[in-house]
Structure 1
Amino acid sequence: MLDRDVDMAMITESRNPATKYIDKLDTLDLVKVINSEDKKVASAVELVLPEIARAIEVTTAAFKRGGRLIYIGAGTSGRLGILDASECPPTFGTDPDMVVGLIAGGEQAIRNPVENAEDNRKAAISDLLAIRLAPADILVGVAASGRTPYVLSAVEFAKDQGVKTIGISSNPGSELELSADIAITPVVGPEVISGSSRLKSGTAQKMILNMLTTGAMVKMGKVFGNLMVDVQASNAKLVDRQKKIIMEVTGCTYESAEKALVDSQGHCKTAILMVMADLTYEEATLLLDDHQGFISAAFLDRGIPL
């Protein structure tokens, strides 16, 4: 059983006076109250931007040395990590192993709760051993309460292996905040429904994970300006997006963009260089490799104005 005094001291578990009578409201007033509470999330995240920036910098450094970004959590927190990890390959053209999401209870827990999974400290260690956690990696423990045993065990084990750790929670002074190398703790206040941390805490987590991977990918040369030039085209809509990106950057016609995309074997970034610098596929690929995938650096190398 949970210690009641500890439980009541947790912000994420306390009762929200603004929603105490939410069950008596008509539908429009109900959603207005939820919306009013949601507005507090962005402000809470704003207060922890310096910590998020530090997390982006250490994550970028890990990527550059061949390490991975590993999310680990239980319930909603675990699912959000898996969501963010799964969206990196199509958006940024990354290897699926570059950003990894682990959830207490394994794959079954993505859709259905697994009894006592979040309390299983040994499972966290087994899950990290299964993916061969290495010192070059970064581990991000995500737990709204900041006290989930599965997550705390993962962070402790990672630190013992020389792995840099980041902790994302919503309760200041939590075990996760105190144990992680970088603690990101947006204080979003009590939930609309007491203890339902999939709400404001979950929204804050999603915002932070978005910033973490987006920021790191920008710093890895995965975008040019605000264009996703490493997008993986897995459907007709994304193929068309690639062509429009090529046109946007180079000013070429749709037909020229289409030809360049074919000649570049479907790699948008390479196609851009082929058009702008009049290069073959092989030449453009080598030029990108020379500049670690940064189009801007490749442009400067060829005297192309940005």
Structure 2
Amino acid sequence: MKFIKTTEANSKYNNLENMTVSDLLININNEDKTVPLAIEKALPQIEIVIQQAVTKLKKGGRIFYIGAGTSGRLGVVDASECPPTFGVDSNVIIGLIAGGDKAIRDAVEFAEDSKTQGWQDLQQHNISTKDIVIGIAASGTTPYVISALEECNTNKIITACITCNKNSPLSLTAQYPIEIIVGPEFITGSSRMKAGTAQKLVLNMISTASMIQLGKVKGNKMVDMQLSNDKLVDRGIKMIMSELHISYTEAEQLLHEHKNVRASINYYNNGNR
């Protein structure tokens, strides 16, 4: 099948500058509504990637996200949110972006065009066959990402990808492609919009489902979250109250002593009351 870059196709809306704010919002919202439906079609692909990721994580491996521009930033965001949410080490899910950390805030010219830097960035983290690498690129044509996955394939490292074009070079490179076909953007070519939203939702699924499979959630609570501010401490106390049916003061004392919701619950359930 011929590769057509639908993310670059002409918007079905025109004369945007003449629209009222209300019209802009309605039309953007209408386009955004199509994203979950596009993801639904790819759920089997997403499931396979999560199964591969969980297998690696359970054996001590890591998940790497690698991307450029918006795609890279989304990977970095998802990776950086896992330690506080699930209490895992920051080395379990790692986000890499073309141009390095500077590119998180400022565009680094031509960084995404390098055919060697992606693999070099992975090597800085001692990438191995224990890990899985997920390339993220809306277009599916980013050299930084594709070349990194090619090297991973050569070195027998599991590869997956998230892209928004069907049969893209990235899809054909990844062993386990995820294709979310969201179609043309509201502003032609602005893949930070629907494509970015799709990528963020899929990343949420990958990290969240993987962490649940690793036992980082009890019931529906983040029992391993880091207690890094007063709001989270209060949430942790209330989790303990709900689970153990004890007072706020008792739960607060447990959390103060054990510094972790799960540890507090386990201590109490083991007869230490």
1:18-76 deviation per Cα after TM superposition (whole angstroms, max 9, x unaligned): x2232211110111000000000010001101111111111111111110100000000
Question: What is the distance in 2 between the residues matched to 1:153 and 1:181?
Answer: 14
1:93-140 deviation per Cα after TM superposition (whole angstroms, max 9, x unaligned): 000000000000111111111111000011112111111111000100
1:276 partnered with 2:269: yes
SS in 2 for 1:121: coil
* Residue 262 (structure 1) shift: 2.1
Question: What is the distance in 2 between the residues matched to 1:262 and 1:24?
Answer: 58
| Equivalent in 37, 40, 47 of residue 43 of structure 1 | 37
| Equivalent in 199, 210, 231 of residue 216 of structure 1 | 210
Paired position in structure 2 for 1:230? 224
Q: With a CA cutoff of 8 Å and minimum separation of 6, indicate the structure with the bigger relative contact order.
A: 2
Size of the aligned set, in residue pairs, is 272
Instruction: Judge conservation of contact 1:51–1:183 (CA < 8 Å) in 2.
Output: yes
Paired position in structure 1 for 2:62? 68
Question: What is the distance in 1 between the residues matched to 2:114 and 2:148?
Answer: 10
Question: What is the distance in 2 between the residues matched to 1:178 and 1:30?
Answer: 36
Question: What is the distance in 2 between the residues matched to 1:133 and 1:71?
Answer: 12
1:165 partnered with 2:159: yes
Query: In the TM superposition, what are the counterparts of 1:1-306 in structure 2 within 5 Å?
Result: 9-17=4-12, 19-264=13-258, 266-279=259-272
* Residue 263 (structure 1) shift: 2.4
Question: What is the distance in 1 between the residues matched to 2:226 and 2:90?
Answer: 12
SS in 1 for 2:159: strand
Instruction: Judge conservation of contact 1:138–1:164 (CA < 8 Å) in 2.
Output: yes
Question: What is the distance in 1 between the residues matched to 2:116 and 2:170?
Answer: 17
SS in 2 for 1:243: helix
| Change over 3 Å in CA distance of 1:198–1:245 after alignment to 2 | same
SS in 2 for 1:134: coil
Question: What is the distance in 1 between the residues matched to 2:42 and 2:14?
Answer: 28
* Residue 258 (structure 1) shift: 1.0
Instruction: Judge conservation of contact 1:273–1:279 (CA < 8 Å) in 2.
Output: no
Letter aligned with residue 271 of structure 1? S
Paired position in structure 2 for 1:289? none
* Residue 277 (structure 1) shift: 2.9
User: Stretches of 4+ moved more than 3 A in 1?
Assistant: none
For structure 2, list consecutive stretches of 5 or more residues without a partner in the other structure.
none
Question: What is the distance in 2 between the residues matched to 1:131 and 1:256?
Answer: 43
Instruction: Judge conservation of contact 1:60–1:216 (CA < 8 Å) in 2.
Output: yes
Question: What is the distance in 1 between the residues matched to 2:219 and 2:29?
Answer: 32
SS in 2 for 1:178: helix
Letter aligned with residue 14 of structure 1? A
- TM-score norm. by structure 1 comes to 0.87
Question: What is the distance in 2 between the residues matched to 1:101 and 1:237?
Answer: 26
